Every structure is written in C-alpha cells, then in structure tokens.
C-alpha cells in the first residue's frame, strides 16, 4: 500500500532542466511514453479474485485430506478392534463349549445318585422346556408375522391394481398389539434377570467374605501338628508358641496394611461396580503382547464411557494398577506365610521330637543331665537363629517391594516429563500459527477498510432511494386506512340492520303457554316407571350386596412370601426351624404404607 501511495503521488522536481520540461510537454500533449504505463485496476481485481479462489480451493483440499486421514485412522482402529473381538469371541466360544462338555460329562457319568446333581438336571430340563415354550409362543409368531408382512408387501408391489385391497389399518393394529405384548414379556424377563443377578452377586459377596474370614482365622490358629504333640519342656513349647505368635502377628500386620491399602484404592475409585466390570472386561479382551494395546483399549473405553474424559480413564487405570500390585503383594504375602508356616511347623516338630527323645534319655540316664541342658540351649539357639533368618527374609521382601515402588514412581515421572516436553512443542507451534494468522488478519483489515469506503458510498445512494420509497409507502398506507374506515362503517350499518331483523323474528316466536309450576315440578309417568314408583315387580339380584376391595389372584401368587412358603411345602421343610426363622425375614414386594400400620397391639 505504501508503494502504491508513493507511486500515485505527483512528480516533485526541485531542479528544472530540459528533460523535465520535455516530460511536462509530453504529458500536456497526451503523448504516451513506454516507461510509464497506466495501472489496470480491473485486471488487478480479477487477479486477486483468482488468488482468493485458489486459496479457498487449497483450504478445501486440506480439510478434505484431514477428514480423510481422520476417517482412515478411525477405520484402522475399528479393524483392529474387530480382530481383537473375533479372537476373544473364539476364545470364549471354546471355553463355553469346554465348560458345557465338562458339565454334561459330570451330570451323565459320575454322582448319578447325588441329590444336588439330580436337581440340576431337573432344572436344566425345566429351562429347556421353558425355552421351547418361549420359542413357540413368542419367537415363532413374530417370525410368521414378519414373513407374512414381507409377502404382502412384495405381493402389493408386484400386483398394484385397483382391485387389490390391503387393509393396512388392521395390519398396523395387529403389529402394535404384538409390540405391546413383546414389551411386557421383555420387561418381565428383564426384572427376572435383575433379580437373579442380584441373588448371584449377594451369594458371591457372602462366599468372598467367608473365604476372607477363613484366611484370617487360619493366620491366627496354631497348627494342628504343634497342638497334638506333647513336649516335656513347657519352656520350649511356650517359646515355640510365642515365636509362632510373633511370626503370625507380623504377617497379620502386613496383611492388614495391604487390606487398608486396597480399601483406600477401592474408595478412591470413581467408577461404579458395573462400569468397573465393563472396564475390566475390555482390558481382558486385549492381550498383553498386542501392539498398541493401550491405545486400543483407551479408544474402546472412550467409546463405552463417552461421559468420562481421557484423564478420568487414565486415573482409573492407575488405580487399577495399584490395586493389582497390592493384590499381588497380598498373594505373595499369604504364599510366603504358608511356606514359612510349613517350614516352622516342620522345624518345630523336629525340635519337639528331639526334645522328647532328650527327655527320655534324661529320664533313663540321670547322669547325662548336663548334656541335656546343652542340647536345650542348642535348640533355643536354633530357634533364635531361625527367627533371625525370618526377620532377614521379611526385611529383604520389604526392600524389594520398596524398590519396585520406586521404579514405578520413576517411570511415572519420566512419562510426565515427556508429556510436558510435548506440550511445550505444541505451544511453540501454536504461537507460530497465531503470528501467521495475525499477519493475515492485518492484510484482511486493509482490504476491508477499502471495501468499507465503497460500501459507505453505496449506502448513501441507497438511503436516498429509501426515503423516496418510505414517502410512497406512507401515502399508500394512508389510502388503505381510509378504505378500512369506510369498510368498518359499512359493517356497523349491516350489523344494526341484522339486529333489527332478529328482533322481529324473536317477537314472532315468543312463548305463549300458561305458567304451571306444579306440573313443571311433578314427576312424569316415564320417570316414575324408570324409578319403580307405584309399580310392583319381582326383586332380582343382579349385583353383589357389597364390593370387595382386595388383591387379585396374580398379585397374591407374585408375593415372594407365598412362593417361598409353597416351595418349602413342596420340599417338606415348612415345619423346620429354618422355615420358622427365614419366613418372618422375607419382606413383601411392595412395602406397606405407614398410615395403614395397625396400632392395636401397641396399646
């Protein structure tokens, strides 16, 4: 722009000579020179428009390329997901077939007289019968209706003649009726599925609690081998027992620390139990040796949990790794305890056997008392040495776990540093991008200012035209208002004339009957006959004397208390102590209202 402004300025000559006079003469006489050519602004405008179109097409190509790359990346991920899904499906199908074959072989070959297995076979047969009934009553009619609709549609498309009739309303009503029936069936099945899942989850929690209690009890119980053996030296037996208690307390403390760590991790977990189950199932689908495993399962998790951010999923992944590490520590701790307990028991049994032998020798040979004392001292030294070895083993295990934890923390720090470097590079690229954008905006602002001046001129011309148009519209509006006023006066005159004619008609149809209030208020013959007054007829009972507001048969049968009692009666257990204890604890399906609670027995 500055170059153009300098070019458009007039010539300024300080020193005049013959050449300048010659140039002025040329300009006055409109004689053209080859050095100075006029600027063709129209051609420049065409060139700028062509450049704009080229840049717009280039930008469109870039956007298309970005979209294509995004779609190809998405398709690649979906392809990898499909491969993993297919492998997981094959594995689960093989496991399912294997389990079914094992169950069938167990039910058919062995334990034929077992009552539980007989109940399982009966239950399987009942389920197969129910499935056949479901196919017969639900699935087959739907398939038949679908085939019928396809046949009718095909028939109407091929033979679309006016004499061919197709009652679409009746078919739609039938389809809606089938949909409603299917909806009720699926709702009932979903409720039953939810109930069974809740029962299974409750039993699994009870089994886990029972196993945890057994493990904690095993930690605190003295081995049967040590309790059954007799030791003639109470000091030795008490020392062995105290060493076992110290050894057990140490492992119990470690186990409690690990359990507290697990509870803390479980408490900080942000996902629900169902979401965590889905998360774990997705992670198990992708094997550990798969290339790009973390990218794939994070992509799948973001698809399953769109309401969760990537940061939340990574945090949950960290919590899961911590939980898995703590569980492995707990398993290692329990296995070490079992191993050490076994070693301790063997050594203690050998020690007690040696003590018994020594006592027998002492009883038979009183002279060897000094030797027996040295043997006891040696045995105590062995116990102390074993204790020192155990303490050293525990210390080494703690150091190994601490080193592993430090290694995990260093790995996490390196990952965070790498992420910070990537963010710094991205910030530099963004700054460079915004500098280029700012330069483009300045160029666009200069072009917009020129365009603004042109638009102001156009707006000034348009405003003159608009004033003339407004004046014309105002005159037209006044003319229309006058016409509306005249039409309103004409309508009012017509209304008055209509009212006058209506009044004349009203006078013609006025009431002329005499006023008789007694006849008006008395009963007619029809009303007396309808109400049964002055008519003697035989009394026929057509409805019950009073209405019953109670439960129907379906509601009574659906009560879990009645169903449980019927099951107990069929099994012959309704008179047992178990039935007496469990029946009062079963709550109804719908709890009773608080305002309907009886207070008779509380007075």
545-599 confidence digits (pLDDT tens): 667 777 788 888 888 899 999 999 999 888 888 888 988 888 888 877 776 666 6
The reply to whether 290 and 405 lie within a common domain is yes
Query: Residues 419-457: pLDDT tens digits?
Result: 888 888 888 889 888 888 888 888 888 888 888 888 888
Structural domain contains residue 77? yes
Contact 383, 247 (CB under 8 A): no
The reply to whether 123 and 100 lie within a common domain is no
Assigned token pair, 417: 């540093």
Residue 1's pLDDT band (boundaries 50, 70, 90)?
very low
As a whole number of angstroms, the distance between CA 468 and CA 470 comes to 6
Contact 271, 279 (CB under 8 A): yes
The reply to whether 321 and 408 lie within a common domain is yes
Query: Is the confidence at residue 540, as pLDDT, over 70?
Result: no
Task: Tell me which residue range forms the domain holding 178.
Answer: 111-157+170-207
The reply to whether 278 and 140 lie within a common domain is no
Residue 162's pLDDT band (boundaries 50, 70, 90)?
very low
The reply to whether 355 and 378 lie within a common domain is yes
The reply to whether 176 and 310 lie within a common domain is no
As a whole number of angstroms, the distance between CA 546 and CA 80 comes to 72
Find all residues with CB under 8 Å of 305, minimum gap 6, and list them: 275, 313
pLDDT at 375: 77
For residue 316, give the nearest of 282, 264, 260, 268 by alpha carbon: 268
Q: Which carries the bigger pLDDT value, residue 60 or residue 603?
A: 60
Structural domain contains residue 116? yes
* Residue that is last in its domain, among 413, 439, 473: 413
pLDDT at 482: 92
As a whole number of angstroms, the distance between CA 562 and CA 555 comes to 11
Structural domain contains residue 213? no
The reply to whether 230 and 319 lie within a common domain is yes
Query: Residues 176-204: pLDDT tens digits?
Result: 887 888 888 888 888 887 888 777 776 65
The reply to whether 48 and 175 lie within a common domain is no
Query: Is the confidence at residue 165, as pLDDT, over 50?
Result: no
pLDDT at 492: 92
Structural domain contains residue 455? no
As a whole number of angstroms, the distance between CA 85 and CA 89 comes to 6
Range 521-533 average pLDDT: 79
Structural domain contains residue 7? no
pLDDT at 481: 92
Give the count of domains, the chain.
3
Range 531-552 average pLDDT: 66
Query: Residues 476-516: pLDDT tens digits?
Result: 899 889 999 999 999 999 999 999 989 888 888 877 767 77
pLDDT at 9: 47
pTM given for the model: 0.40
Q: Which of 21-30, 65-74, 162-171 has the lowest mean pLDDT?
A: 21-30
pLDDT at 495: 92
Find all residues with CB under 8 Å of 77, minimum gap 6, and list them: 296, 299
Query: Residues 309-357: pLDDT tens digits?
Result: 778 778 777 877 777 888 888 888 888 888 887 887 788 778 777 777 7
For residue 582, give the nearest of 590, 570, 572, 574 by alpha carbon: 574
pLDDT at 207: 58
Query: Is the confidence at residue 384, as pLDDT, over 70?
Result: yes
Query: Is the confidence at residue 24, as pLDDT, over 70?
Result: no
Residue 164's pLDDT band (boundaries 50, 70, 90)?
very low
Q: Which carries the bigger pLDDT value, residue 236 or residue 18?
A: 236
Q: Which carries the bigger pLDDT value, residue 127 or residue 65?
A: 65
Q: Which of 168-172, 201-205, 290-294 has the lowest mean pLDDT?
A: 201-205
Residue 2's pLDDT band (boundaries 50, 70, 90)?
very low
- As a whole number, the mean pLDDT across the chain is 77
The reply to whether 47 and 140 lie within a common domain is no
The reply to whether 402 and 311 lie within a common domain is yes
Structural domain contains residue 404? yes
Q: Which carries the bigger pLDDT value, residue 357 or residue 26?
A: 357
pLDDT at 138: 77
Query: Is the confidence at residue 61, as pLDDT, over 80?
Result: yes
As a whole number of angstroms, the distance between CA 542 and CA 528 comes to 21
Query: Is the confidence at residue 416, as pLDDT, over 80?
Result: yes
Query: Is the confidence at residue 142, as pLDDT, over 50?
Result: yes
Query: Is the confidence at residue 141, as pLDDT, over 50?
Result: yes
Query: Residues 211-254: pLDDT tens digits?
Result: 555 555 555 556 666 666 667 677 777 777 777 777 778 877 88
């Amino acid at each position: 722009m500055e170059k153009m402004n300098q070019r458009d300025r007039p010539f300024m000559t300080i020193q005049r000579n013959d050449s300048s006079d010659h140039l002025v003469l040329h300009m006055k006489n409109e004689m053209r020179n080859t050095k100075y050519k006029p600027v063709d602004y129209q051609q420049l405008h065409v060139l700028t428009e062509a450049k704009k179109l080229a840049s717009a097409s280039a930008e469109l190509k870039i956007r298309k390329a970005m979209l294509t790359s995004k779609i190809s990346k998405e398709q690649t991920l979906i392809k990898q997901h499909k491969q993993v899904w297919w492998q997981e499906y094959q594995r689960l199908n093989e496991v399912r077939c294997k389990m079914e074959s094992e169950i069938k072989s167990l039910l058919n070959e062995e334990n034929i007289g077992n009552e539980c297995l007989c109940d399982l076979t009966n239950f399987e047969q009942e389920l197969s019968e129910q499935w056949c009934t479901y196919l017969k009553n639900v699935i087959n009619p739907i398939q038949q209706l679908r085939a019928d609709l396809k046949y009718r549609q095909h028939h109407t498309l091929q033979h679309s003649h006016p004499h061919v009739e197709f009652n679409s309303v009746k078919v739609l009503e039938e389809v809606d009726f089938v949909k409603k029936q299917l909806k009720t069936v699926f709702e009932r099945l979903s409720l039953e599925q939810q109930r069974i899942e809740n029962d299974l989850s409750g039993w699994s929690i009870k089994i886990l609690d029972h196993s945890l209690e057994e493990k904690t009890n095993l930690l605190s119980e003295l081995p049967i081998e040590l309790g059954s053996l007799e030791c003639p030296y109470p000091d030795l037996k008490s020392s062995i027992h105290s060493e076992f208690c110290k050894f057990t307390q140490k492992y119990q403390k470690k186990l409690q620390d690990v359990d507290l760590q697990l509870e803390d991790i479980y408490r900080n977990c942000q996902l629900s139990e169902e979401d965590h189950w889905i998360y774990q199932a997705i992670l198990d689908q992708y094997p550990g040796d798969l290339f790009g495993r973390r990218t794939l399962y994070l992509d799948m998790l973001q698809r399953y949990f769109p309401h969760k951010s990537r940061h939340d999923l990574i945090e949950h992944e960290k919590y899961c790794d911590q939980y898995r590490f703590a569980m492995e520590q707990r398993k290692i701790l329990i296995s070490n305890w079992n191993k050490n307990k076994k070693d301790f028991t063997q050594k203690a049994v050998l020690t007690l056997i040696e003590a018994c032998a020594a006592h027998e020798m002492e009883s038979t040979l009183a002279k060897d008392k000094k030797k027996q004392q040295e043997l006891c001292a040696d045995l105590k030294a062995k116990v102390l040495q074993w204790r020192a070895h155990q303490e050293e083993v525990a210390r080494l295990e703690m150091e190994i776990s601490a080193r592993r934890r430090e290694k995990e923390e260093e790995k996490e720090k390196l990952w965070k540093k790498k992420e910070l470097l990537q963010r710094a590079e991205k910030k530099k690229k963004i700054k460079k991008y915004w500098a280029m954008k700012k330069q483009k905006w300045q160029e666009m602002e200069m072009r917009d200012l020129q365009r603004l001046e042109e638009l102001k001129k156009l707006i000034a011309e348009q405003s003159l035209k608009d004033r003339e148009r407004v004046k014309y519209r105002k005159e037209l509006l006044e003319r229309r208002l006058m016409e509306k006023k005249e039409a309103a006066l004409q309508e009012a005159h017509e209304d008055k004339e209509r009212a006058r004619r209506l009044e004349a008609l009203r006078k013609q149809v006025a009431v002329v009957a005499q006023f008789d209030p007694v006849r008006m208020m008395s009963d007619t013959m029809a009303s007396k006959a309808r109400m049964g007054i002055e008519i003697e007829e035989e009394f026929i009972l057509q409805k019950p004397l009073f209405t019953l507001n109670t439960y129907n048969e379906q509601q009574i049968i659906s009560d879990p208390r009645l169903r449980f009692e019927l099951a107990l009666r069929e099994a012959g257990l309704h008179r047992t102590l178990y039935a007496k204890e469990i029946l009062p604890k079963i709550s109804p399906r719908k709890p009773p209202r608080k305002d309907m609670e009886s207070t008779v027995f509380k007075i």
